Amino acid sequence: MDISKSYDKQSNVISNINVTIEPGEFFVLVGPSGCGKSTMLRMIAGLEDITGGTLKIGDTEVNDLPPSKRDLSMVFQNYALYPHLSVEENIQFGLHVKKIEKKERAKRTSEVAAMLGLTEYLKRKPRELSGGQRQRVALARAIVNEAPICLMDEPLSNLDAKLRAHMRSEIRQIQRRLGITMIYVTHDQIEAMTMGDRIMILHEGSIQQIGKPIDIYNNPANPFVATFIGSPPMNLASGVGDNLTSTIRLNDSIVIPVPTVDAHFLTERVIVGIRPEHIKAATKETEEKDKFVVEVSNVEILGNETIFTFLLNEESWQVKWSGQWQIEIGDKIPLMMNYESFCFFNSETKEIMKTPSDIENHVFGKEVFV
């Protein structure tokens, strides 16, 4: 509770962190480089002193407990394997330290190696393995200890994109199978979205938002979260309310009609946000007042989707559409945006004032598969 960390006793690199991680949960700490997420993980592990607050594992306060007494395992970004030991010896290293008997060591190693596809590599040295195989060895070494909590510090950042995607799925399945509590640090919002039961977004040592990934995506707490979670990020622009026309103006050509029930937004100076996939192509049926034309400044055709960019008030806004669209740089494209898809943030406090009421996603229950 109220965990803080300071190196100079003047300024905090971690401030007032309050969170409860449930047993068996896959909990992700995510944020940009330097936000304090790895420091937090090291504090949980006992590798960093806690300046203020109380850290509990279960009902036990562990602020002053050494790492060896905390009953947890850790997987690092750089694998941290012993080059002179075989894969089998690397996996068993922690069991030697704990003085687990030889027969039990062999049994656990065999089970974990089979689970992670390492059986045929047990006699090899780390230098004979690929990056993905080394990461599996590091993961096996953590799992074999059978600690109820496993800490992971950006374990996939050294892998190529295809292998990262595979390992994301593999780690998640192993965590579910073993029922262990996983606390996972990453700067990659895709890892956070796809792996976490819940995610905590950090910025400059402070919590920005905690919640289920899809809830945070749909209802970001502030502009930082809105632009950090999502690929491409949410588009943001300053808006000026006009009581006479009941609109919020983004620029000379883009005005947002505001319903009477939301008229209080017109007196505020707001930051307007909308996801790239919620900006739609205007059609012949679209009324002229709801339509605006932009000039394309960049195009990315990714096979299954097309992303293009236009400038709004000197800021780049992006649009994401499914499929392959024949769009070229310099094209003039008519667009439209639904009021229900907008987020509004307070310009001063940065707090969210309006969440999207129609996110234009189809959410089906399990009954559709019956």
> Once rounded to an integer, what is the mean pLDDT over residues 118-147?
89
Helices 161-178 + 131-144 axis angle, to 10: 10
Beta pairing, strands 3-6 & 12-17: antiparallel
| pLDDT at residue number 363 | 55
- pTM for the full predicted model: 0.88
Percentage of the chain exceeding pLDDT 90: 54
| pLDDT at residue number 368 | 52
Q: pLDDT at residue 360 above 80?
A: no
| pLDDT at residue number 367 | 61
Which tokens in the block code for residue 76?
């690092």
Residue 141: name the closest of 115, 167, 112, 164 by CA.
112
pLDDT in tens, 214-249: 999 999 999 999 999 998 999 999 999 888 889 999
Give the CA radius of gyration of the chain.
Answer: 25
Q: pLDDT at residue 160 above 90?
A: no
Q: CB of 123 within 8 A of CB of 88?
A: yes
| pLDDT at residue number 358 | 63
pLDDT in tens, 12-43: 888 889 999 999 999 999 999 889 899 999 99
The residue among 102 and 79 whose pLDDT is bigger is 102
| pLDDT at residue number 155 | 86
Provide the 10 A C-beta neighbour count for residue 120. Answer: 9
Which residues fall within 8 angstroms of residue 2, CB to CB, at 6 or more apart? Answer: 16, 17, 18, 52, 53, 54
Q: pLDDT at residue 146 above 90?
A: no
Region class of 300: left (phi > 0), else alpha (psi between -120 and 50), else beta: beta
Q: CB of 28 within 8 A of CB of 200?
A: yes
What residue ranges define each of the domains in the chain, with the CATH number in brackets?
A: 3-218 (3.40.50.300), 223-360 (2.40.50.140)
Average pLDDT, the chain: 89
> Once rounded to an integer, what is the mean pLDDT over residues 364-369?
55
| pLDDT at residue number 147 | 87
Residues 165-197: b if buried by 16+ CB within 10 A, e if exposed: eebbebbbebbeebebbbbbbbbbbbbbbebbb
Percentage of the chain exceeding pLDDT 70: 96
pLDDT in tens, 166-200: 888 888 988 998 899 999 999 999 999 999 999 99
pLDDT in tens, 316-333: 999 999 999 999 999 999
Q: pLDDT at residue 289 above 60?
A: yes
Sign of CA dihedral 14, 20, 21, 23: positive
Which tokens in the block code for residue 163?
């292998």
Residue 185: name the closest of 216, 212, 152, 213 by CA.
152
> Once rounded to an integer, what is the mean pLDDT over residues 252-264?
89
Report the first-to-last Cα separation within the chain, whole angstroms: 45
Q: HSE (CB half, 13 Å, CA atoms) of 183?
A: 24
Which residues fall within 8 angstroms of residue 87, CB to CB, at 6 or more apart? Answer: 113, 118, 121, 122, 123, 124, 125, 126, 129, 137
Residue 155 buriedness (CB in 10 A; 0-12 / 13-18 / 19+): buried
Give the distance, in angstroms, between the CA of residue 367 and the centroid of all CA atoms in the same chain: 29
